[in-house]
Each structure stands twice: as structure tokens, then as C-alpha cells.
Amino acid sequence: MVWTVAPEPYDSPVAAALWRAYYTEVSDRWYLLHEGRRTGPEELEREIAAVSGADLAPPEGLLLVARYAGEPAGSAGVRLPAGTTAELTRVFLYEGMRGRGGAALLVRAAEDAARASGATRMILDTRGDLVEARALYARLGYTETGPHNTDPYAEHWFAKELG
């Protein structure tokens, strides 16, 4: 089977489905760890609606969608602020698509997009319980740094020179 990665409008039905799946998973993991419960339906809908993804619209950002055998399988976002530092966000693969190389492909495509926009450095943040993400970033050459934001859920910050 073949992977492809291409830009996708942040407000497309495909993007919306991937955002819902991503947010549901990371929210449920947080609530299960800290409160022993899954995200409630009302809070899930409220939080999904609160973050439109408009920050991933060109030229300030980009949403990439990976497809496996032509079917949407995952996404990665890149925020492209003025300057030479880009930010990686929303790296996600549907559970059944994991372990097939798609996450690394998405991150590398995001790095290529950042480079093409003039970025020389990529930063990101993640939580401590997202151990798979932290392992992926380390494997792809990201190093842990000090905080670069005040996101209340960020516990680990990474950076990579894109050279």
C-alpha cells in the first residue's frame, strides 16, 4: 500500500473528522489519567468547536493529510509565523494506521513545508502521557528544550534545526 501526503483545507470534512478523532483521543487520555473518566459529550463538543484550526490556513499555517491507499489516515499541522521558526502541531494517525510509517512521513512532510516557507527551525510541545509522540520526535531528531509557550497542557517542548 502507498502513503501520500498533501495539503488539506483546515475546514474540509476530512480535516474535521481527523480533528474530532485527534481531540477525542488526547482529551480522553488526559481525563482517564487525571480524573478516571472519559471526556463528557458536552465538553468534547465545546472544545472541538472552540478550536477551528484557522491558524492552519495559508499563509500562516498548513494542514497536511496523510492518506493510506487513498483513504484519510492522519494529519499534521504547521504554524508558519513570521520569522524562521515554525511550529508542528496536531500530529495524529487513526489507531488502525499506526505502525506503518505514516507518522514519520507526516512529520517529514511538515518539515519540508516549513523549510519551503523559510523556516530553519521547528518547535513543538506535547504532554508527558503521550509517550508515543515523544518517542517519535526523539527518533526523528528533535531534542527536548525549555518551554517556548505557556500552554497549560504542555509538559515537554522539543526543537529541531531544519538546516
Q: What is the pTM of this model?
A: 0.93
Dist CA 110 CA 88 (whole Å): 7
Shortest CA distance to 47 belongs to which of 38, 35, 39? 39
pLDDT at 163: 82
Enclosing H/E stretch for 1: none
Dist CA 65 CA 80 (whole Å): 17
Enclosing H/E stretch for 73: strand 71-79
pLDDT at 98: 95
What does DSSP assign to residue 57?
Answer: S
pLDDT at 51: 87
Give the pLDDT means over successive 10-residue stretches in the chain (163 positions): 94 96 93 93 90 92 97 97 91 95 97 96 95 96 95 94 92
CB atoms within 10 A of CB 41: 8
pLDDT at 83: 83
